[in-house]
Amino acid sequence: QDSPLFSFINSLSPIEPLKSAYSGNGLQAYHQSLNVTSVSSIFTSPHHNAHKESKLSKSSFADYTENELCMEDGTDKNKSPTSSTAVRLFACTSTITRESHTMITCSVNEGIVDPPKGPNDFPQPGRFDSGSPDHNTAPCHGVSVRSDLKQDKCPKLETVQTTNNTVEKRKCLFSSDMQLQDGCQPAKENNEVMGCEWEDLVSVTSGELLAFDSSMDQHHTGVQLAVNNAESCGYLLSKLAGGADISDRTHPATSSQAYYHEMVVGEDKTENGQLFPEDKKTILSEEIQDNINEENACIPLGCKVETQQRGVRRRCLVFEAAGYSHRTVQKESVGDLSFSTCKGKSSAQNHRNPGKTPSPHVFRGIGLHLNALALTSKDKMACQDPLATALVPSLKTEQDVHGNLLSAGGNFVHSGSGLLDLQMDNDDCSVGGFLGNDHNSSQSSSPPKKRRKSDNGDDDSCKRCSCKKSKCLKLYCECFAAGVYCSEPCSCQGCLNKPIHEEIVLSTRKQIEFRNPLAFAPKVIRMSEAGQETQEDPKNTPASARHKRGCNCKKSSCLKKYCECYQGGVGCSNNCRCETCKNTFGTRDVAVSAENEEMKQEGDQTESCEKEKENDQQKANVHSEDHKLVELVVPITPPLDVSSCTMFSSSLLKQPNFSNAKPPRPCKARSGSSSRSSKASETVQSRKISKVGDSVFIEEMPDILREPSSPGIVKTCSPNGKRVSPPHNALSISPNRKGGRKLILKSIPSFPSLAGDTNGGSAICSSDSATALALGPS
């Protein structure tokens, strides 16, 4: 048994020849061995098998073999339900891409994962089934289509490269897994400890997968599966290699995410790098958006999805993120729309798979995965889908788990993917613009339209870095920092942050990450919180977000983009060391703040403060309202300590990751973004604070994702980028504060946890090799 796995792994790098086809037999057998009856039943479901098989047959075979391997592994370890899923995934994957590697990995993971899940199995299966049947069929087609597309579009050369990449990726994945195993806590343990959580996770995953299926088609499903699988795989691997111990540590979730990322990333890269990119990317993005929108509805994917395999994967990734957005959207609903197209669409479409919808956002967001997951769960919950419901619980759990366990896993993932994604981002950027636009035009109706899309902006908007001495291999470079490769819009000199220098980029990234694990973690953490429950106000809960590391502003009073907090659209937290903080999104020491702030302003700092104040006021004058709001808010601000919250917020972490990836910011607000932001902000305002917070939050995420530019969240709003944007500020501010307070409580901390998670995740993701490093930390 083990031997097979090992062999499998070994073989991984090259492509393995698995032989068997993954046929149902394997699965069944597997199931039996596993014991998971319930699961088995689910998996067993003929439907799936049939579908899978059919799919598999269609697609690839090599993959299947892999599946077999997986199966075997699984059997060894036990697993079950998942296996079936995994199988599907594989099948899908295979078909979809050559990425079979990834698939393989996944399969492995799946095996592992499944077992633990046992309990969860039920849900999963159910979900699975629900989704799968219909979807499956469709997906298959989709897959085939994609293949065609790829072939057509991609030149042979590209294909070749891709393959190579894939292989490498595979390796990486493995390595990652390995690492994870080593570093990570064992799934088992977790399971035991958190049995519930674990289960939840699993279930969640399943749910997600299902959702994907429905919405996205097979591809998505495949992706999801892969993800799930990946997670499980990690265990397996660890077990196999290291033995149980490893598995114990690792978090399945984490592993999986990481993998997922990688896979996704890998694809993206390939596509991006090789293919082309933009067009496809754009398409993808669009598709994604569409999907997202549709997702809810369940849709479409096939066609759209087909277009780009990549897209699919991304979508998968997005999922998580999507969840986020979704949730928010849903909750907030309309208001959100303004944010991004997505929202609008979602609102329109939402129905079914709300969670998915968001995915597009996520997609851009990059880092969102983790968060997305969490959100997803919520979303799902919110969502009507049965799956969702089922998932919901699990989702939450997942979040917790992630946070707790894995933070690492989740986080890292993004990092790894980051680079890859980055490329995506570029596309995204543009896309981002379009997102709204495209979607709007075509799909949605939406709402808001986002504006113009493109019009404008996009083009310009997407400026990127203009590095001269860093070669774009240091954090000075926004592209690099965001985990993206430099692209056309960049005006950098001596740039090495390009796909062709992938090795260098990854190695450099690892180094930096090694020094500072949080380096690529999302800067801003958000909590979504769900709000749900929280409810303090009826409205919603706010979401809080804060800059992980806090700023150290001295002269900007945190009122300009010089301040990372402000730029990120979040208020300053206790982590900030700013002087004279006037961050419109919330000042530091809020709680204390009211009094303190006043004190400070008038008293101590008067000096600098005064000046600043004056300046601010001046601006304020312009914006006077804003300031006022802010002030008001300030008092409100509660005293939370973020710290406590933060750590915890593992879930947040996830998001951040994505966010981290952020954008290359590039885009300025200019057209699109600005409009967006403004809209968003407006919306927010109108809505109200509590929501506002969320909305803002959402905005941020999306923005980030979407546009690189937005980074600041646009918030900033100011289209020109000039400094202040009063109105916006005001709007945003209010939300923040309100949200901030509440949110803060929850989210704030993200920092550490995120970092940890992120790091780990990123490491893993990022590069295989690099990843390894990452694992350790968390």
Partner DNA sequence: GAGTTTGAAACT
Partner DNA sequence: CAGTTTCAAACTC
Residue 210 binding target from DNA, Zn ion, none, CB below 5 to 8 Å by type: none
- The residue (of 436 and 719) whose beta carbon lies closer to DNA is 719
> Which listed range, 315-323, 551-559, 640-648, 680-688, lies at the site for DNA (CB under 7 A)?
551-559
- Which residues in the 572-601 window bind Zn ion by CB under 5 A? 572, 576, 578, 581, 583, 588
d(C-alpha 246, C-alpha 623), whole Å: 56
CA 535 from centre of chain: 25
Rg of the chain over CA atoms, in angstroms?
23
Per CB under 7 A, the segment of 71-79, 214-222, 399-407, 473-481 that binds DNA is 473-481
- Angle at which helices 386-401 and 650-661 cross, to 10°: 90
Find the binder of DNA among 477, 590, 745, 770 (CB under 7 A): 477
Count of residues that interact with DNA, criterion CB under 7 A:
41
Give whichever of 113 and 467 is closer to DNA, judged by the CB atom: 467
The only residue of 56, 154, 490, 765 in contact with Zn ion, by rule CB under 5 A: 490
Residues 541-560 that bind Zn ion (CB under 5 A): 551, 553, 558
**Is residue 50 at the binding interface for DNA, with CB under 7 A as the rule?**
no
| Stretch of 343-351, 389-397, 475-483, 735-743 contacting DNA, by CB under 7 A | 475-483
| Residue 512 contacts which entry, Zn ion, DNA, none (Cβ below 5-8 A, type-dependent) | DNA
Q: Around Cβ 631, how many Cβ atoms within 10 Å?
A: 19
Minimum CB distance to DNA smaller for 58 or for 554: 554
Q: What does 474 interact with, of Zn ion, DNA, none (CB < 5 to 8 A by kind)?
A: DNA
Counting contacts by CB under 7 A, is residue 567 touching DNA? yes
CA–CA dist 759, 228 (Å, integer): 20
Residue 565 binds Zn ion (CB under 5 A): yes
CA distances from 240 to 229, 236, 243 (A): 15, 6, 5
Is residue 185 within a helix (H) or strand (E), and if so which, with residue range?
A: strand 185-186
Pick the closest to residue 620 from 504, 733, 468 (CA basis).
733
How far apart, in whole angstroms, are the C-alpha atoms of residue 641 and residue 768? 36
Distance (Å, rounded) from C-alpha 531 to C-alpha 540? 6
SS3 call for 667? strand
DSSP string, 248-295: HHS-HHHHHHHHHHHHHHHHHHIIIIIS--HHHHHHHHHHHHHHHHHH
Given 422, 563, 640, 773, the residue binding Zn ion (CB under 5 A) = 563
Quick one: what does residue 723 bind among DNA, Zn ion, none, with the CB cut-off 5 to 8 Å set by partner type? DNA
Beta strands of 462-550 (E only): which ranges? Answer: 524-527, 544-547
According to the binding rule CB under 7 A, does residue 712 interact with DNA?
Answer: yes
> Please, which of residues 512-531 interact with DNA by CB under 7 A?
512, 515-516, 519
Q: Which helix (H) or strand (E) holds 603?
A: none
> Taking CB under 7 A as the rule, does residue 733 contact DNA?
no
Give 119-171 as a DSSP string: HHHTHHHHHHHHHHHHHHHHHHHHHHHHHHHHHHHS-HHHHHHHHHHHHHHHH
Partner from DNA, Zn ion, none binding residue 481, C-beta < 5-8 Å depending on class: DNA
CB count in 10 Å sphere of residue 720: 12
Among 302, 427, 454, smallest CA distance to 363 is for: 427
| Of the residues 36, 202, 370, 479, which one makes contact with Zn ion according to CB under 5 A | 479
Binding piece for DNA, criterion CB under 7 A, among 87-95, 300-308, 429-437, 714-722? 714-722
481 binds Zn ion (CB under 5 A): no
The answer for residues whose C-beta is within 8 angstroms of residue 75's C-beta and 6 or more apart is: 1, 29, 30, 33, 34, 111
Closest CA to 316 of 331, 332, 295: 295
Residue 58 found at the interface with DNA (CB under 7 A): no
Characterize the bridge pairing of strands 185-186 and 544-547. unpaired
By a kind-dependent CB cut-off of 5 to 8 A, residue 351 interacts, out of Zn ion, DNA, none, with none
Q: Is 247 in the site for Zn ion (CB under 5 A)?
A: no
Run of H or E including 186 = strand 185-186
* Closest to Zn ion by CB, 576 or 696: 576
Interaction between residue 474 and DNA (CB under 7 A)? yes
* Residue 264 near Zn ion by CB under 5 A: no
Tell me which of 48, 331, 549, 613 binds DNA, using CB under 7 A. Answer: 549
Cα distances (angstroms) measured from residue 581 to each of 126, 313, 393, 619, 631: 52, 42, 40, 15, 12
Q: Which of 17, 155, 469, 598 binds DNA (CB under 7 A)?
A: 469
**Per rule CB under 7 A, is residue 478 in the interface with DNA?**
yes
Scan residues 672-711 and list those touching DNA (CB under 7 A).
Answer: 711
Write the secondary structure of 249-261 as one string of H (helix), E (strand) and C (coil).
HCCHHHHHHHHHH
Q: Does 4 bind DNA (CB under 7 A)?
A: no
Is 200 in contact with 233 (CB distance < 8 Å)?
Answer: no
What does the alpha-carbon distance between residue 625 and residue 41 come to, in Å, rounded to a whole number? 62
- Of these partners, Zn ion, DNA, none, which one is at the site of residue 671 (CB under 5 to 8 Å by kind)? none
What DSSP character marks residue 500? G
Q: Are 525 and 403 in contact (CB under 8 A)?
A: no
* 564 binds DNA per the rule CB under 7 A: yes
Least gap, CB of 673 to DNA (angstroms): 12
> Would you count residue 376 as binding DNA (CB under 7 A)?
no
When asked if residue 340 is in the footprint of DNA (CB under 7 A), the reply is no
Q: Which amino acid is at 89?
A: L
**Would you say 19 or 722 has its CB closer to DNA?**
722
Of positions 453, 588, 665, 741, contacts DNA by CB under 7 A: 665
Region from 63-71, 98-106, 291-299, 456-464 binding Zn ion, contact rule CB under 5 A? 456-464
Residue 659 binds: one of DNA, Zn ion, none (C-beta under 5 to 8 A by kind)? none
Verify binding: residue 69, DNA, rule CB under 7 A. no
Crossing angle of the two packed helices 726-747 and 590-602, in degrees rounded to 10: 130
Please provide the size of the chain in residues. 778
State yes or no: residue 476 binds DNA (CB under 7 A): yes
Binding positions for DNA, rule: CB under 7 A: 464-470, 474-478, 481, 492, 512, 515-516, 519, 549, 551-557, 560-564, 567, 665, 668, 711-712, 716, 721-724
Binding positions for Zn ion, rule: CB under 5 A: 464-465, 467, 472, 477, 479, 486, 490, 492, 495, 497, 551, 553, 558, 563, 565, 572, 576, 578, 581, 583, 588
